[in-house]
């Protein structure tokens, strides 16, 4: 009878310690794995959203004359980012306004001596992390610090002979 009581006590002690260790183990899993994974997914989504903004801007810049594309109040630098900020950009947790730089370069020269024009649009956006994780010893972009995305795209002009270019 005594041996059964001792065996029963041993069993209770062994199974009781697992419950006591569950809380700290869950905390470590959440802090070290779950929250950083959520932040890394948010970084990927923010990059994709900024890339969509840049693709829309370079497409519009290839259709417009240079005077309209380089204007700070024009469709490329103001109109498209404003629309984007009320849609996809709302989920990026931006610091400030996206900065857009539009430039042009000469492309290839055809057999009829017409030079193509290439428009280059560079979009820079600074995004804050989704869940800032407090790390006192380091500032890691995407985990506890802002991250900067600078995306550049180029596209041939639809009408390189436009007098505005």
Determine how many CB atoms are found less than 10 A away from the CB of residue 111.
5
> In this model, does residue 13 exceed pLDDT 80?
no
Ordered by start, the domain boundaries in the chain are: 2-156
Average pLDDT over residues 42-52: 95
CA 82, CA 56: separation in Å to the nearest integer? 12
* Residues 53-67 pLDDT 10s: 999 999 999 999 988
Q: What per-residue confidence (pLDDT) applies to 100?
A: 95
Determine how many CB atoms are found less than 10 A away from the CB of residue 53.
26
Which span out of 22-36, 103-117, 120-134 was modeled with the highest average pLDDT? 120-134
Residues 6+ positions from 83 with CB-CB distance below 8 Å: none
Range of lowest pLDDT (7-11, 95-99, 156-160): 7-11
Determine how many CB atoms are found less than 10 A away from the CB of residue 58.
23
Give me the chain's average pLDDT, please: 85
Angle 18-23-27 from CA coordinates, rounded to 5°:
135
DSSP secondary structure letter of residue 129: -
DSSP secondary structure letter of residue 102: E
């Amino acid at each position: 009878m005594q041996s059964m009581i001792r065996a029963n006590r041993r069993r209770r002690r062994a199974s009781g310690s697992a419950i006591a260790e569950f809380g700290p183990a869950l905390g470590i899993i959440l802090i070290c794995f779950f929250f950083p994974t959520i932040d890394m997914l948010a970084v990927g989504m923010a990059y994709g959203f900024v890339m969509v903004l840049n693709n829309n801007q370079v497409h519009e810049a290839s259709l417009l004359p240079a005077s309209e594309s380089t204007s700070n109040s024009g469709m490329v630098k103001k109109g498209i980012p404003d629309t984007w900020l009320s849609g996809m950009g709302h989920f990026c947790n931006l610091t400030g306004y996206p900065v857009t730089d539009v430039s042009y370069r000469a492309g290839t020269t055809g057999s009829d001596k017409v030079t193509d024009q290439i428009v280059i649009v560079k979009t820079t956006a600074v995004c804050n992390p989704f869940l800032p994780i407090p790390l006192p010893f380091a500032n890691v972009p995407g985990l506890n610090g802002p991250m900067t995305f600078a995306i550049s795209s180029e596209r041939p002009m639809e009408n390189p002979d436009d007098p505005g270019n």
